[in-house]
């Protein structure tokens, strides 16, 4: 049984980058798909594809991105965990690496990067931080 599916996906990405893998796979869910949409839009991964199986299960195949042999994602950290949820308003939303990184938030208007949340003037649960 998995208690933290988002944390599991981030750990799979982190481990794949450390080993220099081209892609990693993770079980599919709506929240994971939306987080991957943000990562793809921000240029941290090449893309991902969904594979559906006969038993009703599905997987995401995540294509990792490298630049000059080094991973594009230098650090990926889970902020809000099942034991301790972290929420942030627009005013208290921290900047990651002085604007070079992003935070991914789950807001009432959907899952989005921190700069999009500031633009839409919404706060929410801070899922993870990437730079």
CA gap 7, 31 in Å, rounded: 12
* pTM of the full structure: 0.94
Angle at 119 between CA 118 and CA 123, to 5 degrees: 35
User: Strand, coil or helix: what is 115?
Assistant: helix
Q: What is the mean pLDDT of each run of 10 residues along the chain (131 residues)?
A: 91 96 96 97 97 96 96 96 95 90 96 96 97 93
The CATH number that domain 5-130 falls under is 3.30.1490.10
Report the candidate in 111, 63, 58, 105 with the shortest Cα–Cα distance to residue 86: 105
On whether the CB atoms of residues 5 and 32 are closer than 8 A, the answer is yes
CB 38: neighbour CB atoms within 10 A?
Answer: 21
């Amino acid at each position: 049984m998995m208690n933290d599916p988002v944390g599991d996906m981030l750990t799979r990405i982190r481990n794949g980058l450390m080993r220099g893998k081209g892609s990693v796979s993770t079980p599919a869910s709506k929240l994971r798909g939306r987080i991957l949409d943000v990562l793809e839009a921000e240029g941290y991964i090449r893309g991902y594809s969904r594979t559906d199986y006969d038993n009703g299960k599905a997987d995401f195949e995540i294509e990792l991105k490298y630049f000059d042999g080094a991973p594009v994602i230098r650090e990926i950290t889970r902020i809000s965990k099942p034991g301790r949820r972290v929420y942030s308003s627009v005013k208290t939303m921290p900047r990651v690496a002085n604007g070079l990184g992003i935070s991914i938030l789950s807001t009432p208007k959907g899952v989005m990067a921190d700069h999009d949340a500031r633009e839409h003037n919404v706060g929410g649960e801070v899922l993870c931080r990437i730079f």
